[in-house]
């Protein structure tokens, strides 16, 4: 039986002993060498190994804080005994800590009567404070017992818990019967180097290597799948001849909504769909004048929305709800230009977060403006774009969007699953004519996360952002997914 010097040392050390923990072995031998020897000897049935979880505790950040500044219930009791009993007064003194202190006081017989804290006897509270402080001191010193840990676990941030697997090793009957002469150490080569190769001869002893033995998987680092998907989409757009635009997260309602002929009484304006932020921004009078006319009376045969447009409403600040705000700003600044532009950026919707909805998502928008740009050109471009992402069987159906007419929704098949991919359409004259934009404008938008869910075979959109390390390490590179 072939044995390395490290294995021989370990066998001699374990002879006549019962189970020895790996922590004890690490004090005697090199940690890496003994771990390797244990694995090899286990495969050869020379040692038996048992593993059990061992829990250790250390003081948490909140525990450190209250040890020096006092437990909330401890401070509350001190302030109460100094004469402050009204909850209004206590809140002024203690702030947010009052509710934590009251929670513990209520557990130990305290109550609030007519706006005043009443503690008939503080003995139970003092005992609880003493027990909690004692447990925190033990956690700080690293000597916390399990029963005391249960007390601290009820309080967020008071204690950190760490579970590790403890290995214990013992020689098997096979190992105990190995003759001593077989355990004599000799000179061996553990690693092949250029120097060893140059002077190697048959008298040299190489450490045995068994290529059939288990080896841990090598999982190289990968960028986040959403970042990788964004790069993939960006690459497709650039290959198709599009130029990328960048915008700002905080926009005015004027650029985000009014410039796109979205009426000020549209449901998308409500807080249910839009995150408004504090503050307002002035709108240039000439821009406001044109938009007011378009919304109230229309342009070029359009009747507008027939309501009184408010500059005050338009000046509100919000988190952009789409990247089309980048597009319209570019088109207004380049009204005579033929262009192919796109954005891949974050947008924000005031959604209830669940398995299929996020409040923050990534949108890709593509826009074509120029001679001969028609609805047919838009559909052909959509098919090209989605086919390059691996989405097949593209279909379109009529839809409605406030700033495009005609409008459509895109449906495609990816990995055998039919899914709605996004919306598209031709910009309305009310969006283009006020600024003298010369050509037709075709545009489409896609939320990346929903397509990425299918790519990664996820059933909950929130998992994209949960950063599960095992999932991130073991997932396939997206390029391979698209090509498969």
- 190-243 pLDDT per residue, tens: 677 888 778 777 767 776 666 665 666 777 777 888 888 899 889 999 999 999
**334 and 193 in a common domain:** no
| 385-417 pLDDT, tens digit each | 988 887 878 889 999 988 899 999 998 887 777
As beta bridge partners, residue 418 has 413
* φ, ψ at 15 (rounded to 5°): -60, 130
Which pLDDT does position 198 carry in this prediction? 80
Place of tokens 């097949």: 392
Residue 320 pLDDT > 90, yes or no? yes
**479 and 356 in a common domain:** yes
Residue 115 pLDDT > 70, yes or no? yes
**372 and 244 in a common domain:** yes
User: Residue 137 to residues 68, 75, 131: CA-CA distances in angstroms?
Assistant: 11, 18, 10
Which pLDDT does position 367 carry in this prediction? 94
Nearest to 342 by CA among 426, 239, 412: 239
More confident residue, 193 or 24: 24
Residue 188 pLDDT > 80, yes or no? no
Domain that holds residue 350: 226-249+320-483
- Coil, strand, or helix at residue 300? coil
Long-range contacts, 182-186 (Cβ 8 Å, 24+) = 182/1, 182/3, 182/8, 183/3, 183/8, 183/11, 183/12, 184/8, 185/5, 185/8, 185/9, 186/5
Residue 443 pLDDT > 70, yes or no? yes
Distance, in Å, from the CA atom of 378 to the CA atom of 382, rounded to the nearest integer, reads 6
Return the C-alpha torsion angle 100, 106, 107, 110, nearest 10: 130
Distance, in Å, from the CA atom of 80 to the CA atom of 41, rounded to the nearest integer, reads 66
| Mean pLDDT for the stretch of residues 316-338 | 93
**350 and 239 in a common domain:** yes
DSSP-assigned letter for residue 444: E
Answer whether residue 129 is part of any domain.
Answer: yes
Answer whether residue 42 is part of any domain.
Answer: yes
| Mean pLDDT for the stretch of residues 48-69 | 89
| Mean pLDDT for the stretch of residues 101-106 | 89
Q: What is the mean pLDDT of the chain?
A: 87
* pLDDT category of residue 313 using cuts at 50, 70 and 90: very high
CATH code at position 411: 3.30.930.10
Minimum mean pLDDT range among 54-58, 278-282, 473-477: 473-477
**91 and 45 in a common domain:** no
CATH code at position 191: 1.10.10.10
Domain tally, the chain: 3
Residue 18 pLDDT > 80, yes or no? yes
Which pLDDT does position 482 carry in this prediction? 55
């Amino acid at each position: 039986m072939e044995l390395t010097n490290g294995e021989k040392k370990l066998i001699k050390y374990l002879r006549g002993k019962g189970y020895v923990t790996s922590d004890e072995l690490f004090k005697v031998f090199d940690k890496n060498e003994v771990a390797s020897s244990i694995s090899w000897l286990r495969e050869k049935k020379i040692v038996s190994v048992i593993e059990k979880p061992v829990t250790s505790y250390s003081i948490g950040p909140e525990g450190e804080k209250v040890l020096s500044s006092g437990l909330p219930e401890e401070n509350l009791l001190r302030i109460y005994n100094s004469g402050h009993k009204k909850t209004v007064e206590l809140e002024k003194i203690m702030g947010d800590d009052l509710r934590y202190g009251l929670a513990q006081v209520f557990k130990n017989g305290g109550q609030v009567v007519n706006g005043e804290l009443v503690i008939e006897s503080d003995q139970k509270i003092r005992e609880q404070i003493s027990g909690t402080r004692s447990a925190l001191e033990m956690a700080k010193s690293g000597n916390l017992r399990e029963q005391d840990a249960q007390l601290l676990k009820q309080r967020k941030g008071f204690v950190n818990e760490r579970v590790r697997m403890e290995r214990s090793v013992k020689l098997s009957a096979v190992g105990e019967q190995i003759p001593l002469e077989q355990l004599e150490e000799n000179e061996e080569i553990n690693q092949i180097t250029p120097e060893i190769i140059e002077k190697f001869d048959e008298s040299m002893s190489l450490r045995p290597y068994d290529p059939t033995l288990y080896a841990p998987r090598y999982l190289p680092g990968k960028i986040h799948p959403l970042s990788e998907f964004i790069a993939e989409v960006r690459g497709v757009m650039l290959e198709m001849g599009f130029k990328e635009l960048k915008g700002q997260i905080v926009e005015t309602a004027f650029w985000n909504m009014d410039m796109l002929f979205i009426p000020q009484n549209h449901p998308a304006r409500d807080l249910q769909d839009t995150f408004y932020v504090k503050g307002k921004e002035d709108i240039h009078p000439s821009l406001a004048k044109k938009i007011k006319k378009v919304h109230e009376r229309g342009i070029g045969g359009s009747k507008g929305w027939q309501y009184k447009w408010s500059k005050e409403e338009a000046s509100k600040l919000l988190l952009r709800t789409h990247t089309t705000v980048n597009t319209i700003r570019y088109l207004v600044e380049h009204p005579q230009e033929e262009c192919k532009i796109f954005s891949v950026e974050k947008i924000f919707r005031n959604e209830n977060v669940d398995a299929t909805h996020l409040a923050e998502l990534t949108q890709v928008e593509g826009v074509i403006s120029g001679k001969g740009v028609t609805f047919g050109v838009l559909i052909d471009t959509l098919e090209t774009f989605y086919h390059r992402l691996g989405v097949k069987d593209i279909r379109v159906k009529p839809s409605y969007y406030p700033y495009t007419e005609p409008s459509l929704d895109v449906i495609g098949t990816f990995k055998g699953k039919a899914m709605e991919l996004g919306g598209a359409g031709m910009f309305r004259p009310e969006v283009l004519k006020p600024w003298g934009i010369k050509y037709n404008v075709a545009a489409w938008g896609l939320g990346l996360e929903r397509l990425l869910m299918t790519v990664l075979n996820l059933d909950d959109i929130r998992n994209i952002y949960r950063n599960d390390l095992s999932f991130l390490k073991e997932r396939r590179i997206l390029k391979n997914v698209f090509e498969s």
